[in-house]
Structure 1
Amino acid sequence: MIESPPALKRKQSVDIDSPMPSSGPPSPSDSSDAGADQAKVKRVRTTAEMVSKKKTVSKLIATLSASQLVHLVTALVDTHPQLADDVASLVPRPTIDRVQSHLVFLETKLQEAFPYTKWGPGRDDYSFNRVKPALEELIENIVEYTNHFTSPPEFPTTSFSFLHIAAECCNRLPNWDSAANNELKTSLYRSLEEFWIKTIQDAASKLEEGKIFGQATVREWANNLDQHNYNSQGLFSTAVEEFKSRLGWLLGFPPSTPHYPNPMSTASPHNTGNSNNNSSNGINGNGSNRRLNGSSMSNRRIVGHILNNGNGGNN
């Protein structure tokens, strides 16, 4: 009987999908690659979380009112004082129009703080104490914004424009029955005069650097300053003298006169008298109303010793 040959065993095929047998422990490069992949995944996840948080904060801020936003930023700076400079650099510089609107709001707030009487707002101590917080808030804002608009990089034209607004606002403050209560207003006038002097000196420095101011512009500055010196009962007289000394030559006034008469020398700084009595209170000193460039100036008195072509206000 013939025996069949033994069947040949089928050679095991190599499965390309099966993992290769490990020939040893993983190399350091394999471990570092795995660690890098994990770090990348974590970094992507962290970035996504940060973006999500920023979007959430942005949406929350968008719902805040202006006053709430001010409170939020103020609280943030109070908690982290080191952020003050960063916040200040990011906040857009205020414009005169916006600040003027804010001051009007504070003036309205002051008027609304007066206790109601059938005779209108009182000027006694009781009324003063009721409105004092609102009054102090308004004065504080006037001083702070005046300092802002009279500091670099603001140009003198901007500074003089805001000084006029600030002085008008000061003039509208209540006059109280008590002299002690009026000290807040008087002190504000004195602070504003310092800002006027500072701006006059800045304008003079700009002239020395070659800057040019139109004569009509300088006339307006002089008229505004004279108006506020009159309204403040002479509290701006030092600023008037500084204006004559530093800028008067632009209006024909001699640039090097050794002495200028005190524009309020004939009037007590605490007595306004009759506003129509120019002979006793007038800066012009001649009892007459003048005209500038053909337009009536009956509502504001002109710095005669500046505008009278160097004759010191004497005809």
Structure 2
Amino acid sequence: MAYMKEQGRKRRYSEDEEMGDATPPTRTFTIKQQQQQHRDDWKRSKTGLTKKSPLNLKLATMDKEKLLQVLASLLEKQPELKHDIMTYIPAPTIPSAMAVLNDKEKKLHGSFPYNKAGPRLDQYTFSRVREPLLDLIDTITQYSHHFVSATIFPTVCFTYLDQVTHFAHRLPTWGIDQHNQPRLDLYKDLTLFWIQAIQTTASKLSHDATFHADTIGLWARNLAHHNTLANGLLDNAIYEFNQRLLQPTTATATAAPTAPFAVTTPSSSQSQSSPFNPYDFPSSTLPPSACHPSPVTTITPSPVVGYADLRR
């Protein structure tokens, strides 16, 4: 009797064991299906990936300077590719241009030979820094051709000119006049770019474009400030600004430049010129751009960007 009970218990235990073993095959089959599904999904997603070519992998290991050299060499050998490549290059912005110029300015400063008493400005030092110096000047000129054009909005033109002219002020002044010629040439070019921006803006004003008096006043203060730092090398731009944007058009043909934003009218019967002030005229005879305070007495540092900002 005890044996039968034991057999019954064993039988029931065996049956329970078989019942318990009935589930895993189903679960194992389900897991295998899921794993196969994942493999299929991975294969489908993998086919959609773009496989990098060996050329892409090699280019990824090159720094920016090396890539620029390769690209420049390629364009020099195959100039017909220039148009196609330019379509992929975005137009520079003021922040991106300033970043490039800042890097080149740092390279210029880093090329000065070490001296305990500070950088020397002699013949030997000039020979060491000549290449990065001319590179910085050339880059300023190239960017200026882009930002100072009829297709660029005047506010962008004047903002760029205000920022980029600070680079000219910070160029070293050498003990030999011949070495200062690149710096003087840059000031001449910047003067022409300022004049071009002024003339373009005046042309837009003549075609019913309007600019707030505060905006024109800001441009005037910036230009006057730069002319002060340049010891009068931007006098021609000052004169053009006064003639085109601050004075009545009736006085344009007879006025002559003197101090910043002070114009004189020569007389055939007098040997000395008398000062001409456009603000002495009734407001009804003045263009809207002239109806704001003269910046002569308020020459202050540029509010757009300061020296410390450009050294970051």
The answer to whether TM tops 0.5 is yes
Q: Which residue of 2 aligns with 1:254?
A: 248
CA contact (8 A) 2:238 2:261 kept: no
| Separation of aligned partners in 1, 2:257 and 2:138 | 34
How many residues of Structure 1 are paired with residues of Structure 2 in the alignment?
221
Letter in 2 for 1:166: V
CA contact (8 A) 1:245 1:256 kept: no
Choose from 206, 211, 214 the match for 1:213.
211
Q: Which residue of 1 aligns with 2:111?
A: 113
Q: Which residue of 1 aligns with 2:87?
A: 89
Letter in 2 for 1:87: I
Q: Which residue of 2 aligns with 1:263?
A: 259
Letter in 2 for 1:146: S
| Separation of aligned partners in 1, 2:116 and 2:58 | 46
1:189 to partner: Cα distance: 0.2
TM-score, with normalisation over the residues of structure 2? Answer: 0.65
CA contact (8 A) 1:237 1:264 kept: yes
Choose from 239, 242, 265 the match for 1:241.
239
111 and 147 in structure 1: CA distance in 2 versus 1, 3 angstrom threshold: same
3-state SS of 2:149 partner: coil
| Separation of aligned partners in 2, 1:212 and 1:83 | 41
1:300 to partner: Cα distance: 4.1
3-state SS of 2:87 partner: helix
264 and 68 in structure 1: CA distance in 2 versus 1, 3 angstrom threshold: same
Letter in 1 for 2:255: H
| Separation of aligned partners in 2, 1:152 and 1:74 | 28
1:208 to partner: Cα distance: 2.0
Letter in 1 for 2:152: E
1:60 to partner: Cα distance: 3.8
| Separation of aligned partners in 2, 1:141 and 1:215 | 32
1:264 to partner: Cα distance: 6.3
CA contact (8 A) 2:221 2:300 kept: no
1:61 is the counterpart of 2:79: no
Query: How much is the aligned-residue C-alpha RMSD, in angstroms?
Result: 2.7
Q: Which residue of 1 aligns with 2:124?
A: 126
CA contact (8 A) 1:123 1:175 kept: yes
Letter in 2 for 1:120: G
The answer to which structure has the higher helix fraction is: 2
Q: Which residue of 2 aligns with 1:76?
A: 74
| Separation of aligned partners in 1, 2:299 and 2:206 | 34
Letter in 2 for 1:247: L
| Separation of aligned partners in 2, 1:237 and 1:124 | 29
| Separation of aligned partners in 2, 1:168 and 1:261 | 24
For structure 2, the 5+ residue unaligned runs are: 1-49, 263-276, 278-292, 303-312
| Separation of aligned partners in 1, 2:300 and 2:219 | 15
> Percent identity among equivalent residues?
34
1:177 is the counterpart of 2:175: yes
Letter in 2 for 1:231: L
Deviations 1:253-273 (A, max 9, x none): 43322314411699xxxxxxx
Deviations 1:150-184 (A, max 9, x none): 12421111111111122110000001111111111
CA contact (8 A) 2:225 2:299 kept: no
| Separation of aligned partners in 1, 2:257 and 2:121 | 36
| Separation of aligned partners in 1, 2:129 and 2:58 | 35
246 and 299 in structure 1: CA distance in 2 versus 1, 3 angstrom threshold: closer
3-state SS of 2:92 partner: coil
| Separation of aligned partners in 2, 1:59 and 1:197 | 48
| Separation of aligned partners in 1, 2:100 and 2:180 | 23
207 and 264 in structure 1: CA distance in 2 versus 1, 3 angstrom threshold: closer
Q: Which residue of 1 aligns with 2:98?
A: 100
Higher RCO (Cα < 8 Å, 6 or more apart) = 2
3-state SS of 1:181 partner: helix
3-state SS of 1:91 partner: coil
CA contact (8 A) 1:106 1:134 kept: yes
Q: Which residue of 2 aligns with 1:168?
A: 166
| Separation of aligned partners in 1, 2:54 and 2:217 | 54
Deviations 1:70-121 (A, max 9, x none): 2222122112110112212221011110110111111111111111111100
| Separation of aligned partners in 1, 2:200 and 2:117 | 46
| Separation of aligned partners in 2, 1:66 and 1:195 | 30
CA contact (8 A) 2:239 2:261 kept: no
298 and 209 in structure 1: CA distance in 2 versus 1, 3 angstrom threshold: closer
